[in-house]
């Protein structure tokens, strides 16, 4: 599974597809206190990004993908800050 609770974080790792949305949202709802760790993620379906934007967890780590780190993560953080 590419989405799991490990230690004190919800961890996304590898390539997270659409099939991971349901467990991911379940974790976000059950444990809103946990940050989402993106350190080991290589690809993320847009539905998971949308869940992050809706639930607004603390996001930690830098993705294992130069594109995600350079383009998507900054845009996500910017969007989340604008709505606060």
pTM of the model: 0.90
Residue 84: per-residue pLDDT:
60
Contact assessment for residue 7 and residue 18, using Cβ atoms and an 8 Å cutoff: no
Residue 35: per-residue pLDDT:
97
Residue ranges making up the domain that contains 9: 3-82
Return averaged pLDDT per consecutive 10 residues of the chain, 84 residues in all. 93 96 98 96 94 94 88 84 70
Contact assessment for residue 36 and residue 58, using Cβ atoms and an 8 Å cutoff: yes
Residue 73: per-residue pLDDT:
86
- Helices 73-82, 46-55: axis angle to 10 degrees equals 30
> Which residue is associated with the tokens 């998507």?
72
How many domains is the chain built from? 1
For residue 14, count CB atoms less than 10 angstroms from its CB and return exposed for 0-12, middle for 13-18, buried for 19 or more: middle
CA-closest candidate to residue 43, choices 23, 18, 17? 17
């Amino acid at each position: 599974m590419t989405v799991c609770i490990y230690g004190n974080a919800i961890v996304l790792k590898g390539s997270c597809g659409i099939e991971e949305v349901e467990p991911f949202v379940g974790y976000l709802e059950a444990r809103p206190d946990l940050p989402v760790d993106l350190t080991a993620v290589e690809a993320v379906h847009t539905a998971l990004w949308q869940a992050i934007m809706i639930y607004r967890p603390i996001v930690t780590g830098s993705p294992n993908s130069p594109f995600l780190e350079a383009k998507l993560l900054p845009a996500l953080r910017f969007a989340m800050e604008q709505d606060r």
